Structures are given as structure tokens and as C-alpha cells.
Amino acid sequence: MMNKVGIALMIFILAGMGYTAFSFVTDSSSGDISTVSRIHADEPLLLEDYLGNKKTILQFVAVPCECCSYSMPFIQEYVEMQDEIEIITIVFYGREREILDKFENEYEATHEWAVDLDRNLANYYDVSVSPTYVFFDEHGNEMGSHPYIIATAEELGERYEEAYEKYLAESKS
């Protein structure tokens, strides 16, 4: 009999396969990737306010996604324990009412978040599974991504530092 972790892993893998298939049939070449809609605020989120101004992580999630829900407390913890890296959660799949309920009531999100339901931004960064983390340096350079669940705030920091060090080493050679 499978344990809860095994079941969660199977769901994650199946969801990833579904998102991958979906990304092949959608057009990723059109649309604005600098402005992201917000359903909880009047003004859209402008990525130029973050990318190139501060180290940034874009966390792409789906609602509902058990792995994303599992990781959200660690995202909140990471946001609260440091101010060097900005985290922006981008919801690229879900229904607006469910998304709003998750972020305002269940997650009680205090960090920036927005929705990309037309998948322009997700497709631009080749995001096909959730959660996926895309890392940027303070100059706005994309340094890589991590397309799987991150289980702790410390692990998120470690993954960012790994991407940062790898990017610096590759840019020097």
C-alpha cells in the first residue's frame, strides 16, 4: 500500500505530464510577458519593477495543486526570513474564484502574486509543471529553473544560490 508521500508524488508526476502535453498545444509566441494580471488588486503586476532591480524568483503554480499548497508555507517563511530575494508567485492554471480563495484564505499570502491564465509567461519560461521556480539575478538575467517541489525555506535559498553560482561560473567562461 502506498503512503501519502507516494500518492502525492504520483499525483505530481501525472499533473506534470498533463501540463507538458498542454504546453505543446498552446502558442507560446504571443502575448505580453512584462505585465501580469492580478485578481486581488486593481493594478497589474509589472515584472520590470522587480527583474533587473533585485534578485527574484518567479514561482509558477497551479490551483489546485497539492504540491504547490504543500510548498506555500515555506515560500511565506522564506519571504519573512530575508529581504534580499523577491519572490513572486505566478498562477498559470486554475479558476479565479478558487485562486483567490487559496491565496487570501488558505495561504494568507503576504508576498506578490499574480495570474497568468493565458500561459504567456509560463510558456515563455518553458514552465510545464507546477511548482516551477525560475531564478533571476539582480540584473534580470535568467539563471535557470527548478521544476519540482521545494520542501523547506532553506532548500529554496540553496536552490537559488546553486543557480546563482552556476550562472556566474558559466558567464566567466
Domains recognised in the chain with CATH numbers: 4-25+35-172 (3.40.30.10)
DSSP E strands, the chain: 35-36, 45-46, 55-62, 85-93, 112-115, 132-136, 142-146
Per-residue model confidence (pLDDT) at position 19: 46
Whether the Cβ atoms of residue 118 and residue 30 lie closer than 8 Å to each other: no
Per-residue model confidence (pLDDT) at position 26: 44
Query: What does DSSP say about strands 45-46 and 55-62: parallel, antiparallel, or unpaired?
Result: unpaired
Integer-rounded Cα Rg, in Å, for the chain is: 16
Whether the Cβ atoms of residue 92 and residue 116 lie closer than 8 Å to each other: yes
Task: Name the residue among 95, 135, 114, 126 with its Cα closest to residue 34.
Answer: 114
**pLDDT, tens digit, for every residue of 11-38?**
555 555 454 444 444 444 456 789 999 9
Percentage of the residues of the chain whose pLDDT score is greater than 70:
83
Series of mean pLDDT values for 10-residue runs along the chain (173 residues): 59 51 44 87 95 97 94 94 96 96 93 95 95 97 94 96 96 86
Phi, psi of 147, deg, nearest 5 = -95, 45
Q: What is the pTM of this model?
A: 0.81
